[in-house]
Amino acid sequence: MFFNSIDFAVFLPIVFILYWFTFNQNIKTQNVLVLIASYIFYGWWDWRFLSLIVFSTLVDYTLGILLGTEVKETKRKIYLWISIIINLGFLGFFKYYNFFIESFVDAFTFFGQDVRVTSLKIVLPAGISFYTFQTLSYTIDVYKRNLDPTKKFIAFAAFISFFPQLVAGPIERASNLLPQILKKRKLNYEQSIDGLRLMLWGLFKKVVIADSLSPIVNDIFENYSTHSSPVLIMGAVFFAFQIYGDFSGYSDIAIGTSKLFGIELMSNFKFPYLSRNIAEFWRRWHISLSTWFRDYLYIPLGGSRGSKIKGIRNIFVIFLVSGFWHGANWTFIFWGLFHAVLFLPSFLCGTNRKYINNNVNSSFSFLKIVSNIYNTLLTFILVTVGWVFFRSATITDSFTYLKIIFTKFSFEHYTHPNGYRLIDYFILLLFFMIYEYIIRNNERNPIGFKNEYVRLFVYILLVFLMLLFYDDGVDRSFIYSQF
């Protein structure tokens, strides 16, 4: 079930009414409804994979209790490793089995050996990378004694399967989400209105930005060898906005939906295309994943402490694992490596913490304005080059795509696959970025203008644009649900 489907438009009001007006007697009954609703939400896609979530929930609930009661460190480490092996084992099998088999065969073929290994037709469970990392964070935190294990199974199961962020995040920490599930929640009008605003903004980004750019991006990347440099540049830029609109739109809807149920999720995007260097970009893009890797991999490896060599090693490990997390394809691994190389100069020069507050403040200094514009454009260009690897089918396609950009300079009249005017999309993206700059320091409430007439105007405009750009022939699934 997708957020932008008719099914969800029917599902959400029913759950909301039951949650606040029927199952509101106590916390347990509310959590029972959350759990049932979450399993229906996920099972709507394929009910067979509910067994994975249930099994993972049972394993980590049990191991959490054992970790909380065991005093011997040796046994506690065994319990932790059981959790890690089981969770990553499922993730590795469903997501990476065929990748490793094919890479194994290719490696022997390269050396002239004919190896025959049968691959399997494995269906990737939606969102498995997200809920696997979420449940892992619980057992790791309990092992580190940063979190007390819960004995309330229903609440724990609701935490693991909480439907707004089950399929594509944000990847929540137990320390933030679980306490909210364990305490009594009351209907808050202002919180609900903020949630609806955020959902509207997320739907706009998905329907108007991501979905409307999808046919152009697909056409250009699938037929890149027939196009000239300007068209390929347009395709790369449009994909940058497509994936941003798609993923940040999903996160906004997830956070907004959670607000309707009295639960606050962490921010996952903070206007990343306003970043002034790569380090700032990664503090603004997919925040729940980047902070997960920081806390559970980068810091345990030693972080930036110690020698520069170890720091560089840790950076490459983090970005390579991040690339591998995104998918079983060498293009994702190379994308991670590319960002590690981009991040390295900031780390070596000590500028990786330069824009730590994540705020894009106005400045009346002309030189400062020019510097910010230059740094922002340069960062966007570098990130967009990286998106070429992310979007391409193979590494060869990626490099050929970039080669054509730098070698095939010619004017080409490109026509939208559905015959629409391209100028409309350029104008749309220009005003989209202007609006994001206006609301740059308030990602949690992007339509929260004080003037009610301004808010009403924005509501009407967003709805009008969604109706105008809506295309029933476009694949409306979310890109990140496949991860």
Residues 239, 119: one domain?
no
Domain edge (last residue) among 128, 155, 187: 187
Residue 318 lies in a domain: no
The per-residue b/e assignment along 355-381, b for 16 or more CB within 10 angstroms, e otherwise, is beebebeeeeeeeeeeebeebbeebbe
Residues 202, 268: one domain?
yes
pLDDT of residue 395: 93
Phi–psi pair at 85, nearest 5 degrees: -65, -45
Domain edge (last residue) among 133, 163, 187: 187
pTM: 0.90
Residue 351 lies in a domain: no
Read off the pLDDT band of 357 (50, 70, 90). low
Sequence-ordered list of residues with C-beta below 8 angstroms from that of 315, at least 6 positions apart, any chain: 340, 343, 344, 347
Residues 382, 469: one domain?
yes
Q: Which domain holds residue 55?
A: 6-187
What are the tens digits of pLDDT across the range 275-295? Answer: 999 999 999 999 999 999 999
How far is residue 234 CA from its own chain's centroid? 23
Read off the pLDDT band of 114 (50, 70, 90). low
Q: Which of 326, 339, 413, 416 is catalytic?
A: 326
Residue 313 lies in a domain: no
Is 326 marked active-site? yes
pLDDT of residue 123: 65
Read off the pLDDT band of 364 (50, 70, 90). low
Residues 398, 386: Cα–Cα separation, whole Å: 9
Q: Which of 135-149, 317-331, 353-367 has the lowest mean pLDDT?
A: 353-367
Residues 92, 128: one domain?
yes
Residue 327 lies in a domain: no
Q: Helix crossing, 422-438 with 212-222: angle to 10°? A: 120
pLDDT of residue 474: 75
Residues 174, 229: one domain?
no
Residue 211 lies in a domain: yes
pLDDT of residue 52: 87
Residue 353 lies in a domain: no
Residue 272 lies in a domain: yes
Asked if 326 contacts 261 with a C-beta cutoff of 8 angstroms, the reply is no
Residues 202, 126: one domain?
no
pLDDT of residue 457: 92
Predicted confidence (pLDDT) at residue 108 exceeds the cutoff of 70: no
Asked if 269 contacts 440 with a C-beta cutoff of 8 angstroms, the reply is no
Residues 372, 397: one domain?
yes
How far is residue 466 CA from its own chain's centroid? 22
What are the tens digits of pLDDT across the range 151-186? Answer: 999 999 999 999 999 888 799 999 899 999 999 888
Residues 86, 199: one domain?
no
CA angle 209, 434, 251 (to 5 degrees): 45
Residues 260, 173: one domain?
no
Q: Which residue has the higher pLDDT, 366 or 72?
A: 72
**Total domains, the chain:** 2
Residue with tokens 């693991």: 160
Residue 227 lies in a domain: yes
What are the tens digits of pLDDT across the range 236-267? Answer: 999 999 999 999 999 999 999 999 999 999 99
The per-residue b/e assignment along 165-202, b for 16 or more CB within 10 angstroms, e otherwise, is bbbbbbbbbbeebbebbeeebeeeeebbebbebbbbbb
Residues 57, 162: one domain?
yes
Domain edge (last residue) among 155, 170, 187: 187
Nearest to 212 by CA among 473, 438, 479: 473
Residues 99, 237: one domain?
no
Residues 20, 140: Cα–Cα separation, whole Å: 33
Residues 159, 68: one domain?
yes
Q: Which residue has the higher pLDDT, 417 or 89?
A: 89
